[in-house]
Amino acid sequence: MIPASLGWRAGALLSCLLAVGCGAAQSTGAEPSAGGGGPAASSGARPPDFELPTLTGENVRLSDHLGKDVVLIDFWATFCDPCLTAMPHLDELYKKHKSQGFLVLGVSIDGPDSIAEVKTTVAKLGVSFPILLDQETRVVSLYNPKTSAPYSVLIGRDGTVLTKKEGYTTGDATAVDRDVLAALAK
């Protein structure tokens, strides 16, 4: 039996391992991924709005960026090695293109009992993009109902979902770069 304090985290880890092995990549292009995401988060659709707190307590609302920025929502967890591998690359991409209107929103799927671990992990990795806390899993249920990690959603300047991707391997960096550059060029 899993202790209650570990239940959510263990469930997310099990989902991650079963769904994508915490790193098996699936390209989504214009098709909805096999990894989930409700109809509202399907490619070509307008993504559902949300507001979540950052690690510093500020709130970030997705709709404040729709129609002007290219947004990459990255669902991740401290216990997911592929997530931690992806984050430095995403941070490098963010720093390189933020002046062009590119924003990465890292949504932690860790439970409420591990906020300190999220802060420590982000500091250790030196991540500069906003890290959002979805402790009640409201946003995860909208975009990533299987709670896969990592799981990313790229939203174009027009406010529609361009791609969804489940998993991350080192070779995926090139595809992510290409998708972001294409979105910024529109």
The residue ranges of DSSP E strands in the chain, in sequence order, are: 51-53, 59-61, 70-76, 102-108, 131-133, 151-155, 161-166
The per-residue pLDDT for 32 is 34
Tens digits of pLDDT across the chain (186 residues): 334 444 444 444 434 433 343 433 333 333 333 334 444 466 678 899 999 999 999 999 999 999 899 999 999 999 999 999 999 999 999 999 999 999 999 999 998 888 889 999 999 999 999 999 998 889 999 998 888 899 999 999 999 999 999 999 878 889 999 999 999 998
Q: Which CATH number fits domain 4-185: 2.40.50.140, 3.40.640.10, 3.40.50.300, 3.40.30.10?
A: 3.40.30.10
Residue 8 backbone class (left: φ over 0; alpha: ψ -120 to 50; beta: rest): alpha
Question: Can you give the residue ranges of every domain in the chain?
Answer: 4-185
